[in-house]
Amino acid sequence: MDILRLKAEGLSVREIARRTGLSRNTVRKYLRRPELPQYKPRPPKASKLDPFKPYLEQRMAQGVFNANRLLQELRAQGYTGGKTILKEFLRPHRPSRVPHAVVRFELPPGTQAQVDWGEFAYTDLQGRRRKVYGFVMVLSYSRAMYVEFVEQQDLSTLLRCHLHAFAALGGVPKEILYDNMKTVVLRRHGAEVDYHPRMLDFALLAGFALRACRPYRAQTKGRVERAIGYLKRHFWPAVQFTDLADLNRQVRAWVAEVANRRLHGTTGQRPADRLVEEQAHLTPLRPLAAFTSLLHEERRVSRDGYVQYAGSRYGVPWRYSGRYVTVFATSTEVEIRDGDRVIARHPPALLPGLTIPLPEQYHGLALGGPQRPEPPQGQQVVGPAVERRSLQVYEDLLRAGERR
């Protein structure tokens, strides 16, 4: 140590203090005890985050690492700390990501939208694990998105979701890019694609071109893939809903207030702001009546007078049992027709597995149908007059025989 060396050279305490910049008392202390002082580590200071760490560990175990989402949840529980200490706590726990080099293509407004399905699991009131499907459409220029949850991925549902998306986003783009879903692509022959005829008719009527991704090239539709991932990370983890209608009300509000109003990481702008510019380049949507002939499903009526549709059963008049009918469904009504004649209207089932009867469904029908003839039976008749004795007479005779 310099203090000991200077003292060995014969310097005074005052001179050593001057040269080292230490006080004379400090110099004397080191001269009396030349070893270095031992400092005890300070006890860690309590953090505002400490009471919430068990909850954060639970959420991370569920795969939730988004700091913005977790900060909202902690605020609701009374957390008053900042976002920085939350991110520092999350950082070592995050799964590592391997970056991939990609080439991003920007498109002019109104040129393209991308569509795909996401699968979302939930637990119902009986504790059973179920799933719904999220239809997601993203406009490639503005990154504005539309989301709708449904229980089926059939073609009629897909077409209705398109119409709802066009109405919400303000028009129809020039082309829509899809994965090779069966409701859109029937088969591929190299670069040639055979599209589903009904989907092709819908596209021609709405005024957009169908475009299918090349197999194993999901990056081509990266905008919608990232939108689905954003939906799963930011909306789905904490959602609670009573039924499908409630879930869709919540996601519409979230898209309008959060997803389409955030600063987008690629464009640096809010999708809602860019959408205003893009809407001027979209084709206006034709009236819904123009698409009615495409929004149908053919079903056979069961023997008990019900049509199976979207996981539930809808009643029709009993006389149509065994016949084929057409189902037209919207978000507010399920209409069943025999040819051009409407034979039943129902509100959509709120949950799968419901049976919805039609009032007077069995009117005019002898319920139970034809009966089997009864097997031959015995018949009670009035017999001839005979002496009637009390059963006690037989009891007395039995006792008399025992005494003999």
Model confidence band, residue 319 (pLDDT cutoffs 50, 70, 90): very high
The per-residue pLDDT for range 60-89, each reduced to its tens digit, is: 888 888 888 899 899 999 999 888 889 888
Higher-pLDDT residue of 289 and 45 is: 289
CA distance 318 to 250: 39
- pLDDT (average), residues 90-119: 78
Cβ neighbors of 189 (< 8 A, separation 6 or more) are none
Residue range 112-290, CATH number: 3.30.420.10
Domain ranges of the chain: 2-32, 50-93, 112-290, 295-356
Residue 137 half-sphere exposure toward CB, CA atoms < 13 A: 24
pLDDT-wise least confident of 9-13, 100-104, 130-134, 297-301: 100-104
- pLDDT (average), residues 281-286: 95
Main-chain phi, psi angles of 157, to 5 degrees: -65, -45
Would the pTM count as exceeding 0.85? Answer: no
CA distance 140 to 126: 40
DSSP 8-state symbol, 118: E
pLDDT-wise least confident of 17-21, 144-148, 383-387: 383-387
CA angle centred on 25, ends 23 and 29, rounded to 5°: 120
SS3 292: helix
SS3 282: coil
Beta bridge partner(s), residue 327: 297, 336
CA angle centred on 221, ends 241 and 187, rounded to 5°: 100
The per-residue pLDDT for range 1-19, each reduced to its tens digit, is: 567 777 788 888 888 878 7
Count of C-beta atoms within a 10 Å radius of residue 69: 16
The per-residue pLDDT for range 162-212, each reduced to its tens digit, is: 999 999 999 999 999 998 899 999 988 877 889 999 999 999 999 999 999
